[in-house]
Each structure stands twice: as structure tokens, then as C-alpha cells.
A = this chain, B = another copy of it.
Amino acid sequence: VANPTAARLAAGRTGTVAVVVPVFDSWYFAKVVAGVEAVLKERAVDLLLYAVDSEAARQAFLAGRGAWWQRGDALIMVDVRLTDSESERLARSGSRIVTIGSRTSIFSSVCLDEERAAALAADHLMRRGHRRIGVLAGDPHALHFTVPALRLGGFCDALDRVGRLPAPELIRSGGFSVDGGRDAMANLLDLDEPPTAVFCLSDEMAFGALDEIRHRGLRVPDDVAVVGFDNHDLAPLFDLTTVGQDVESIGAMAGRLVVQAMHNPSEPPEHVNTPTTLVVRGSA
């Protein structure tokens, strides 16, 4: 029964991976971490968890006051924004890095094609005849969290290609939460000319939106159609049409990449693209 701390000091390796998420108590991130954990456990690698839940926390983390890079020999950053200069500084820190949800050339990454995924939703809604389409997005000021911007951009681009770029008033922030989704939906429905369909950047926001719609006695999808994103475990119960992704396997893949990078630090970065599929149910 050896002492890991001494072993680490002597060997110069910690056998530990740090996982950084924007928040923790959300379906998506819990699933991702579960996927990572399963892989790391079977490789006997420890998992250190950091939540970086604001831009200030993000900067503090990257400034490295806690010298996190000495605590683990690799880092998985899940949907946390990285500027180019920050990336380069990380690369120089010597720890192997894998990003989830965003892609930099110098690190391995596992992403889904946000543009294509959002286009799935856009095309579906267009095909069903919707022309006035709202969006429940993330908080544009949440700079630490990257995915929302990419996903929103992809959706707007897809609509733009057919000359249907949504008016700014149709894009609302739902903060990626159920309550936020409900409030944002309420705002959309209060418009003089409310949208006939709404694309939610996460299923959790869609759940809130559906609740608000029902609460007003409107019908889904006849009065308002709703498309979500994630294929949350509870999406079938809400009969929610959604862009599905296999979140646990995203985490597992990142875990595999990071272990690989630990064993073979000189390998070039590997970029994995994760599939998304439109899961059509009754809400759109």
C-alpha cells in the first residue's frame, strides 16, 4: 500500500485528471462527467472536479493561482471558453488538454458540429411551414460558457440562408434553466406578433417553455411548435422534438483521449466529431 503523494513527487506524474465544467447540477454536465469518470476509473486515474461558474472564476482558474496544472497531469475543459492566448499559455504549462464543446487546433477535442445540429432544427421547422421562429438562447453575457454562441450562430445562419434571419426581439435568453426558459417563452408570447415556433438551445429551457405555453392554454405544436436540444432523459415525457446527442459517450471519448495523451504526450491532437440526430416527437 504505497503513498500516492510520494509516488507522484518522485515520478513527476499525478495520475490525476482535472475536469472543469461551467456548472455542475445540470443534466448535460452531470452526464458528461459520468462518462469521463467511467473511463478514468477503469484506468485507475483520479478525477478532480472544478466548477468555473462565472467569467471571474474562469479567469481566476486560468490565471492559475491554485496551480491546478501541478495537481493533475491533464485537463478536460467542458464548454469553457478559451481565448487563443489562454490556450497557448495552457499548452506551455505542460499538462495535456482535451476540450469538449469547442475546438482549438492545439488541443484534442470532442465536439458536435453545432452549425449542422442547429440546422437540423432550423430545417425541420422551416419544412413544417414556420416562418416566424423564436430562439431561447443562453445569456449573451455569460462569457465563460462557449457553446451557446456557436449553437445560436448555427441556427441563425441556417435561417439566414433561406432569408429568414430571426428578428432580434425573437431571440431571448433563457439562461439554460427551466425557469429561465419559462420566462423567456412568456416574453415571446407577450409580443404583438409572437413566433409560431421556438428553438431552445437546451431541453431544460424547452421544458420551461412548454410549461408556459400549456399554462396559457395554447396548443403544442399547433399554436407554438417547440424544438429542444440534448435529448434529455425526460424529453420523451414531454413529447419534445429535439436535437439529440449522446452526452455520456462524449464524456467517455474525452476520457479516452486524455488518457491517451497522458501516455503519449507527443501525439498530435485528435479531433473527434460527435453525431447529432433530430429526434422527432410531437412538439414540432
Q: Is A89 an interface residue (CB 8 A)?
A: no
List of B residues within 8 angstroms of A9 by Cβ? 5-6, 9
Decide yes or no whether A37 CB sits under 8 A from chain B: yes
CB pair B33–A3 under 8 Å, yes or no, is no
Smallest CB separation, A225 vs chain B (Å): 19
Q: Please indicate the chain B residues that have their CB under 8 angstroms from the CB of A236 in the complex.
A: 211
**Interface pair B34/A70, CB less than 8 Å apart:** no
Chain B neighbourhood of A26, CB < 8 A: 30
Determine the chain B residues whose CB is within 8 A of the CB of A178 once the complex forms. 233-234, 237
**Can you name the residue of chain B whose Cβ is closest to the Cβ of A64?**
B1
Instruction: Identify which of A3, A4, A31 gathers the most chain B CB atoms within 10 Å of its CB.
Output: A4
Check: A245 CB closer than 8 A to any chain B CB: no
| Given A5-B14, A5-B70, A178-B237, residue A49 in contact with residue B25 (CB < 8 A) | no
B248–A234 CB distance below 8 A: no
| Nearest B residue to A66, CB-CB | B44
* A142 located at the interface, meaning its Cβ lies under 8 Å from any Cβ of chain B in the complex: no
**Is A8 interfacial (CB 8 A cutoff)?**
yes
Measured in the bound complex, the distance between the Cα atoms of B44 and A33 in whole Å is 21
A106 at the interface (CB under 8 A from B): no
Size of the A side of the interface (Cβ < 8 Å), in residues, is: 45
A191 within 8 A of B: no
Answer yes or no: A272 CB below 8 A from chain B CBs: no
User: Could you say which residues of chain B place their CB within 8 Å of the CB of A23?
Assistant: 34
Contact between chains at B8 and A5 (CB < 8 Å): yes
Q: Taking the complex as formed, is A71 at the interface, i.e. its CB lies under 8 A from any CB of chain B?
A: yes
In the complex, A48 has a CB within 8 A of chain B? yes
Q: A6-B9, A9-B9 are in contact. Are A46 and B71 (CB under 8 A)?
A: yes
Give per-residue flags for A23-55: 1 if the beta carbon is below 8 A from chain B beta carbons, else 0.
111110111011001100100101111110000
Report whether B37 and A31 are in contact in the complex, using a CB–CB cutoff of 8 Å. no
Give the residues in chain B near A66, CB-CB below 8 Å: 44
Residue of B nearest to A46 (CB): B48
Q: Binary interface profile of A, 242-277, with partner B (CB < 8 Å = 1, else 0)?
A: 000000100000000000000000000000000000
Contact A51 B24 (CB under 8 A): no
Complex Cα–Cα for A37 and B23 (A): 10
A176 at the binding interface (Cβ < 8 Å): no
- Over the window 70-112 of chain A, the binary record of Cβ atoms lying under 8 Å from chain B Cβ atoms (1 yes, 0 no) is 1100000000000000000000000000000000000000000
Chain B contacts of A14 at CB under 8 A?
A: 5
CB<8 Å pairs between A and B, sample of 11: A5-B9, A5-B71, A6-B9, A24-B30, A24-B33, A25-B31, A26-B30, A30-B30, A37-B50, A41-B51, A47-B48
